[in-house]
Amino acid sequence: MDQRFDVPVDAAQELESLLERSGAEFHREGERFRLLFAAGGCRWQVVCQCRGDLAMVYHIHPARVEDPARALELCSSLNGRVIRGSFFLQEERFVFRDGAELTEHWEAQDRLARALEYGAAVMPRFWQALSAAAGGTLLEIE
């Protein structure tokens, strides 16, 4: 980690360092990272997209949405309950998005960890509602 204060933070470098230090298995494709999360009997894919000092974290529920109108209603309801981040539909799946803006080297990995951990808490909390609203058809996680 570069400790110089005049050098911009590189989110991809910081995320890679955090994931390696944590022992998490991940796949990096340039500025994009893919990994699997599991908590409370739930398992889902996480995709992180970095750009400069910004990292966006997408937690992707594996159930295919059969009724988009019903699913969008749930997204709206859940967005009123989460403190930060938001739910939306993408390619017939629920996605919870959060992110981290990395303004200081000394706190960059902590901000990234908080963004990952918040989504890791949100997904199991609403797992049953998401699965029921999707119609219950689970897709294989890549």
Rounded to an integer, what distance in angstroms lies between the CA atom of residue 62 and that of residue 141?
6
Burial class from Cβ neighbours inside 10 Å (0-12, 13-18, 19+) for residue 74 reads: buried
Rounded to an integer, what distance in angstroms lies between the CA atom of residue 62 and that of residue 64?
7
- What domains sit in the chain, N to C, each tagged with a CATH number? 31-136 (3.30.1460.10)
- pTM for the predicted model, two decimal places: 0.90
| pLDDT for res 6 | 64
Q: What is the mean pLDDT of each run of 10 residues along the chain (142 residues)?
A: 68 96 95 94 96 97 92 94 96 96 91 96 94 71 48
| pLDDT for res 1 | 46
Strand partners, 137: 64
Rounded to an integer, what distance in angstroms lies between the CA atom of residue 123 and that of residue 136?
15
Which two structure tokens, joined as six digits, stand for 117? Answer: 């951990």
| pLDDT for res 90 | 96
| pLDDT for res 105 | 86
Q: What are phi and psi of 58, to 5 degrees?
A: -115, 115
Rounded to an integer, what distance in angstroms lies between the CA atom of residue 83 and that of residue 33?
25
Rounded to an integer, what distance in angstroms lies between the CA atom of residue 94 and that of residue 74?
10
Helix (H, G, I), strand (E, B) or coil at 130: helix
| pLDDT for res 40 | 85
